[in-house]
Copies of this chain bind each other. A is one copy, B any other.
Amino acid sequence: MKYEKYKKDLDYSYALGITLTFELLINKSQYLQDVYFHSSFNGEAKEKMEKILKSLGKEPIISDKIFNILASKENVYVIGIFKKFTLKLQNNNHLVLVNPANAGNLGTIMRTSLGFGIKDIAIIKPCVDVFDPKTIRASMGAVFNINFKLYDSFEDYKQQYNNHHLYPFMLKAKTKLHQTTFSKPFSLIFGNEATGLPDNFLNYHSVIIAHSKEIDSLNITNAVSIAIYEATKNIY
């Protein structure tokens, strides 16, 4: 078998399922390696996908074996294999995730971020694997629609985008989100799920999503979505 079960050090990853593979074909076809169809894949979606593949000069590979290896426990009829890629951020508003550790959370955040028009995400290492099939699945394909770039440190990111207004989200911050005016271009910055951002981020314009004392903190994906909603809400 040409492809093996996902590991971080492989130079490819894959989109499991029809929806994700469509997103891959439409948005990142230049990185497409192969598309596998299960022998029981049929109907309109199959025809539509064959058409797109043809326009890309590709043919689907019909094989059931690979589904046992890459998607053994799941109800999957299509697998899109792609070469891992690197992107550049645009000089727009950014989301900055410092040391995100959970693949599902990262994917969900990508989807919500795209949903509110923030298409540029900086990710500070160490971090979860962006190409983990779990990230790709949770993003519902958003990973093929946004720009993301990994940085070795927050300083590296900051130097490159020194025109950005930095808004770290922290429980220790004094300014409440709904009293914050975001100057553009902005960077909304969030820390690791368990530890948050280190105290030195209080030197920037830090922001708190004020909540009751009955919970310790908001779930990270909920916190990011509230922040992005508030920062972009006059656009939609």
Interfacial residues, chain A to chain B (CB-CB below 8 A) = 108, 111-112, 114-117, 140, 142, 145, 176-178, 209-212, 214-216, 218-219, 221-222, 225-226, 229-230, 233-234, 236
Contact = CB atoms under 8 A, between A and B. Distances in A.
Contacts of A226: 225-226, 229
20 contacts: A108-B219, A108-B222, A111-B215, A111-B218, A115-B212, A115-B215, A115-B218, A116-B211, A140-B216, A142-B215, A145-B214, A177-B233, A178-B234, A211-B236, A212-B236, A219-B221, A219-B225, A222-B222, A225-B226, A226-B226
Contact of A176 (B114, B142, B236): B236
Contacts of A178: 233-234
A165 to B, nearest CB: 21
A212 B108 contact: no
Nearest to A211: B115
Contacts of A215: 111-112, 114-115, 140, 142
A23 to B, nearest CB: 10
Number of identical monomers bound together in the oligomeric complex: 2
Contacts of A214: 114-115, 142, 145
A200 to B, nearest CB: 26
A99 to B, nearest CB: 21
Nearest to A145: B214
B218 A112 contact: yes
Contacts of A234: 178
A234 to B, nearest CB: 8
Top 6 A-B pairs, shortest CB-CB distance: A210-B236, A222-B225, A115-B211, A115-B215, A178-B233, A226-B229
Contacts of A229: 209, 226, 229-230
A176 B235 CA distance: 11
Contacts of A210: 236
A114 B178 CA distance: 19
A207 to B, nearest CB: 13
